[in-house]
Amino acid sequence: MPVIRAMSTRANDGSERRGGRAGREGGPGGRPQREGRAGGRDSAHGMDLTTDPGHDSLVDVPGGVRLQKVLAAAGVGSRRRCEELIGEGRVEVDGEIVRRYGARVDPDHQIIKVDGRRIPSRQDLVYLALNKPPGVLTSMSDDRGRPTISDFLGDRAERLFHVGRLDYDTEGLMLLTNDGELAHRLAHPRYGVAKTYLADVAAPLPRDLGRRLISGIELEDGVASADKFRVVEQAGSRALVEITLHEGRKHIVRRLLAEAGHPVSRLVRTRVGPVALGNLRPGTTRALTTREIGELYAAVGL
Angle at 244 between CA 240 and CA 250, to 5 degrees: 95
Question: Helix or strand or coil: residue 21?
Answer: helix
Catalytic residue among 167, 179, 200, 227, which?
167
Q: Are the CB atoms for 205 and 241 separated by under 8 Å?
A: yes
Give Cα 112 distance to the centre of its chain.
Answer: 14
Angle at 43 between CA 88 and CA 82, to 5 degrees: 25
**In whole angstroms, what is the distance from residue 128 CA to residue 292 CA?**
11
Question: Helix or strand or coil: residue 25?
Answer: coil
Give Cα 153 distance to the centre of its chain.
Answer: 20
Active site residue 167: yes
Q: Which residues contact 271 (CB under 8 A, 6 or more apart)?
A: 173, 194, 195, 196, 244, 277
Nearest CA-CA partner of 295 in 119, 55, 92: 119
Q: How many CA atoms lie within 13 A of 206 on its CB side?
A: 10
Phi, psi dihedral angles at 68 (to 5 degrees): -65, -30
Rg (CA), the chain: 25
Q: Which residues contact 163 (CB under 8 A, 6 or more apart)?
A: 174, 175, 176, 177, 183, 186, 187, 272
Catalytic residue positions? 167
